[in-house]
Each structure stands twice: as structure tokens, then as C-alpha cells.
Amino acid sequence: MSNNKIYVGIIFCLLIVFSSCGYSFRGGGNLPEGIKNLSVKMLENRTSETGAENIFTNDLIYEIISFGKVVLTKEDSADGILTGVIESMRIDAISHRNSYSSLERRVIVTLSLKLTDPTGRVIWSAKDISASKDYIVSSEKQTTEKNKREAINTLSQRFAEKVYNRLTNNF
């Protein structure tokens, strides 16, 4: 058997392994109760992190519309209204340079969300959904703030995916 055939065989096997490693299509379901027109209200921000409500709401909207199964609309013409609260955002030091400074920190965010019909009846809710993301602390404050903001953005995208998957699960 020639070397070329061996290489082709190895590549083929690797392609099969990597294409079947447990990944599946997400967002396959529909919103509960046949909701096709959805209003997403700006999340309430109960944290001291300015602008977090914009980041999390925008990522949630992007995730919902990226599948094309729902039309975003104003509240008065919606079948469902999605509201939520960013309950908390905590920053913890997880490793230390010395007793006065950190090497690494963790941002921990908790959200609660609710989907209601136009009459206010709760269709779906999720309380105290939490996630965390670590980031590096730099000797430069600007770099540390940039790392923190990137961690928050990553968390926001993860939350949006998690919420959409929960919303469309088993419906």
C-alpha cells in the first residue's frame, strides 16, 4: 500500500471522528404555544455594570432572530413577550499574585427570564440562570478592563444560546 493511500485513509478516519464527536444542531424546536411574533424587552440591570443590559439583550435578540423562526415585533402585536432581569454580576479573585493583587478573576452573572402571552400569563420562565467566565488581571488597568469586558461579552453570548435552547426545548 502506498504512502498516499495511507494518508488518505488517515484523513478520512479523522474526518469521520471529528464529524461525529457529539455535536448536534441546536435550536431545532419552536417557541412554546406556537409563538411566531415575539417582543423582547430590554433586560432590567440590577448590577453596577453599566451597559450590561444592552449587551445581554442584544445577544439574546441576535440568537432568537438568527434561526428565522420568530419575527421580532412591538409588544402590542406580539404573541409572546420576553422579559428578564440581570440579577447579579459578581467579580471574584481566583488566583493571587500576592496578598494584595490578583492574577486571575472570575465574573459570575445570574439572570432570570420570563415569557408571557399578551394577557400576562406566564408561558415559560427560568430563574437564577448562572454562568461564569475567568479573565486575566494585567498590571495595566486598561488591559484588565478589556479582559473583563471580553469575559462579559462571552458570557452574554453563552446565555443567549442557553436561553434560546431552553425556550425551544420540547416544543
Q: 14-47 pLDDT, tens per residue?
A: 445 444 444 444 445 788 888 999 999 999 999 9
d(CA 82, CA 71): 13
pLDDT at 85 over 70: yes
pLDDT the model gives residue 28:
54
The CATH homologous superfamily of the domain defined by 29-168:
Lipoprotein like domain (3.30.160.150)
Query: Measuring CA to CA, how many Å separate 159 from each of 60, 138, 141, 142?
Result: 8, 26, 27, 26
pLDDT the model gives residue 141:
95
Q: What average pLDDT does range 57-65 have in this prediction?
A: 95
pLDDT at 68 over 60: yes
Q: Taking Cα atoms as reference points, which of 27, 35, 24, 32 lies closest to residue 67?
A: 27
Over residues 122-160, the pLDDT tens digits come to 999 999 999 999 999 999 999 999 999 999 999 999 999
pLDDT the model gives residue 23:
42
pLDDT tier, 75 (very low <50, low <70, confident <90, very high otherwise): very high
What rounded mean pLDDT belongs to the chain? 86
d(CA 101, CA 1): 61
3-state secondary structure 27-90: CCCCCHHHCCEEEECCCEECCCCCCHHHHHHHHHHHHHHCCCCCEECCHHHCCEEEEEEEEEEE
In sequence order, which residues have a C-beta less than 8 Å from that of residue 18 and are 6 or more positions away?
none
Q: What average pLDDT does range 72-85 have in this prediction?
A: 95
pLDDT-wise least confident of 71-75, 157-161, 166-170: 166-170
Q: Name the 3-class secondary structure at 25.
A: coil
The three cell numbers locating residue 100: 494584595
d(CA 126, CA 74): 23
pLDDT the model gives residue 31:
86
pLDDT the model gives residue 99:
82
Contact 31, 63 (CB under 8 A): no
How are beta strands 122-136 and 80-98 bridged, if at all?
A: unpaired
Higher-confidence position of 115 and 12: 115
